[in-house]
Chains A and B, each alone.
Chain A
């Protein structure tokens, strides 16, 4: 039995025993290649679940749907290691109770799906340990280094050009499990902290505010980058933030549910060169 069939049957079991009320997984999309999130509530519907190399989205976002977990019941969700890290962060930030999340863990290597051992977020600590040891994406690092090679002025022009494309559709925010604020700073108007207009200044404001809010919280799932309808390389910004916190604080976001948020904690040996 392949992993897809195995997970389907386990999902059906969880639903029929009442252990979970809902399974959030992947299903067929509008084209052969596309996979879309599906919400399965009955054992029979588990037939719709698909698991293959196209299942790249981080579905943990849906766990924060208003009211979903407030009844104390559990929900099962298909997650890659990045998604599992999101669960850890959300637990650390008191946004959900990880005991209510049953994880169908998987990873994709060269287009092939591999099952990950475990059901609770804490079961996956070894997997995340391996991921941390492997370091940040070498591919992204290479792309980011290209930008480091140009002058600051050129880099500014590069981002100005990229941000000028932004239309403030907020797909990056909406798809992100870390963007759970009930009222985003851009929607606050007394005072109006951030310009609502999507001109270059307003777009800079938005994208930089978001980058800072994600520093030490982003798990590089790539959801914002894939969702951006105008192809802004948001991955590079988030990668840079992740590298900063890793280099400065040896901090890898979402290692476990007990991990303290990097920007909300202090250690004696934190570098403080910017103060002194």
Chain B
């Protein structure tokens, strides 16, 4: 016997969490874009999507985030730090890849200097993940040692029942357990079978990839030029990635007042590394694409023991020229055959 959340009680569930002080965010399709937004009713949720086009990263590391409000006087400045609200939030219907993405980025924002803009949101969020029963041609979680029902980064795991009437519920953390409190009367005991999880084929051999990337000779391989020749150098793969975390800091305002902001930035852009002198260590698209792959599957692991990819496949799914991590890592896998 396990606990079941019946689909037809979802509205009660949302109401219970809301009255317990939580905002409930779920996949929504609005203005021709799927993303996580606050919902009040289950009918607004788009739970049948393989994956939202935008990631939940947006709600922890927004595309533009005010850091400091400043006003400048003759011989003085007033500054006011803009602290993100500590709002209790439930993210309902997260996919395992997006949940894993948060866990992958935690050590980066936490090492040595703690980025409170991330953690004030992280610490007040409960991630309710729904295991995937469908996938598409771009999903690749199984290639990066994750799976359609990975629990990494999740506080509660929901596994869809075969009969479609609801989800089997499993709390994975204290936060997850606490979240089930307000809905304990909604949950029921049951032994219904769960639907089989999506079958996501392994698309590349990540161990071979990591070994090849770690070989110093690979850095200057001609491979990088060939594989990236059609890259147009936009930032969409990085901005839609659940783990990409690079940013810029910019001041915006007039001469006297304004806001210092933390804005997403992308290793695809030449300006990302351009020195004032004009020297650019990564001055071609191939060196920038190499940086992206190396960062994800070599450097990040060296620092934090984990690859910076959760296999969502968005990079390929929405690439204007059909590039992406999968193709590159497949090509590396084939190089080392």
Contact = CB atoms under 8 A, between A and B. Distances in A.
- How many A residues are at the interface, by size bracket? 35 or more
Contacts of B234: 169-171, 173-175, 227
A196 B53 contact: no
Interface in B284-337: 316, 318, 320-324, 326-327
A36 B31 contact: no
A231 B33 contact: yes
Interface stretch (B93-101, B174-182, B260-268): B260-268
Contacts of A233: 32
Contacts of B53: 229-231
Interface string B128-156: 00000000011000000000000000000
Contact of B271 (A39, A62, A187, A192): A187
B31 A30 contact: no
Given A169-B235, A169-B239, A175-B320, A197 B250 contact: yes
A195 B252 contact: yes
A229 B63 contact: no
A167 B250 CA distance: 16
A37 B321 contact: yes
Nearest to B248: A196
B230 interface: yes
Contact of B264 (A30, A198, A223): A198
A207 to B, nearest CB: 15
A210 interface: no
Interface string B36-70: 00000000000000000110000000011000000
Interface string A140-170: 0000000000000000000001100101111
Residue of A34, A161, A169, A223 with highest tally of chain B CB at under 10 A: A169
Contacts, number: 96
What does DSSP make chain B's interface, helix, strand, loop or mixed?
Answer: loop
A29 to B, nearest CB: 4
Contact of B320 (A187, A196, A226): A226
B240 interface: yes
A167 B232 contact: no
Interface residues of B, number: 37
B84 interface: no
Interface string A10-53: 00000000000000000001110011111100000000000000
B124 interface: no
B229 interface: yes
Nearest to B326: A30
A198 B238 CA distance: 15
Contacts of B6: none
Contacts of A62: 230
A187 B248 CA distance: 13
A34 B248 contact: no
Contacts of B232: 61, 171, 174-175
Nearest to B316: A30
Given A223-B320, A229-B240, A198 B63 contact: yes
Contacts of A35: 322
Contacts of B261: 197
Interface in A219-240: 223, 226-227, 229-231, 233
Contacts of B322: 29-30, 34-36
Q: Which 10 A-B pairs have the closest CB atoms?
A: A227-B320, A171-B234, A36-B322, A169-B235, A174-B234, A174-B232, A197-B64, A169-B236, A229-B236, A229-B318
Interface of B: 31-33, 53-54, 63-64, 137-138, 229-230, 232-236, 238-240, 248, 250, 252, 261, 263-264, 266, 269, 271, 316, 318, 320-324, 326-327
Given A167-B264, A169-B234, A196-B250, 5 more contacts: A30-B137, A30-B327, A167-B240, A174-B232, A174-B234
